[in-house]
Structure 1
Amino acid sequence: MLFKFIRYGDNQLCAIKIRGTAFLWHQVRCMVAVLFMIGQGLESDEVHSIFPYALLDIERTPRKPQYIMAPEVPLVLRSCEFESLKFTCSLDAAQALHMHLQNECQMYQLQAAIYHEALLSCLPLENDQGLLENRTVKKKASHVPVFSRPTEPSYEERRAKFGLRKS
């Protein structure tokens, strides 16, 4: 895996390049979720050193720990490469794509500016004592390490549940 940190305005973005010959359903979203936990310092040094191999090793971890996957919105599949196959794009299609992406970028920048102005015009809640007295504080859930969480059924347990034999 390759990590690259990018500054975009006031936000820091992380680009992750993951190469593989195949991926399981939602595997990348699960990997990114664990990487976020590691990045926030919520996971131990053990997870740092063995991730993602321990979670993919069915001998060591026969059941997937339960945790919330990373949202799909910021994740982008940028390319797929195949041996002996090269995709090409006509000049017209490339120009149309470029124009479409430019228009989308402008639309999102406009929407971001509108939301930013809305945020600036909001009244600060800290200064309004009437609101503070009625406001309840949400208790933050404590973090449970990945390998200490409840697990999902193993592959064999799922097959047994549906009465399927090994192929």
Structure 2
Amino acid sequence: MSTQISLSSQPTLLLKNLQLVESPRWHDGQLWFSDWMAQELRTVDLTGNSELISKVSSFPFCFDWLPDGQLLVVSGREAKLLRMKTDGTLAPHIDLSGLSTHPWNEIVVDGRGNTYINNSGFNFPQAEFAPGFIVLVRPDGSVEQVADGVAFPNGMVVTPDNSTLILAESYGNCLTAFDIA
């Protein structure tokens, strides 16, 4: 089954002079994204108005929202999951440093508030490849490894019914689906 979408004959440039854009997410009428090299979390609307949300002194960093609207940010090399406070500052939420010395990467939050974060398993791009893994951070703050042996875990999504986590394995050249409880 394929879906046809209508594209305008002329694309609209929303924002330029970006460096390394990752983690695009549509939220509250705006496109949110990370610019890894600039260490910025930004938004842009469809008219090109952009706002700097936060500076994040880590590489990589990705983000998602809890069901109550709180923004979570993965500070990859610092091995921290941060939460944005109401004043816009980032505060520690969960320390991941005891789980791996390698960088943390992508994040996705399901509709129940369970947060999935993946770890590359090696110091990309300097070190030789090694398999990565995924952890689950529950709303009560407990952390558990839920998958391993994945070939450079990258983008993730949870299906709308909260039953399946889908992972892009960049070095595996595949999408892998995991049943979740």
Query: Normalising to structure 2: TM-score of the pair?
Result: 0.22
Which structure's residues are more often strand, by fraction?
Answer: 2
**Normalised by the size of structure 1, how large is the TM-score?**
0.24
Q: RCO greater where, 1 or 2, for CA within 8 Å and sep 6 or more?
A: 1
- Greater helix percent: which structure? 1
Which is higher, the Rg of structure 1 or of structure 2?
1
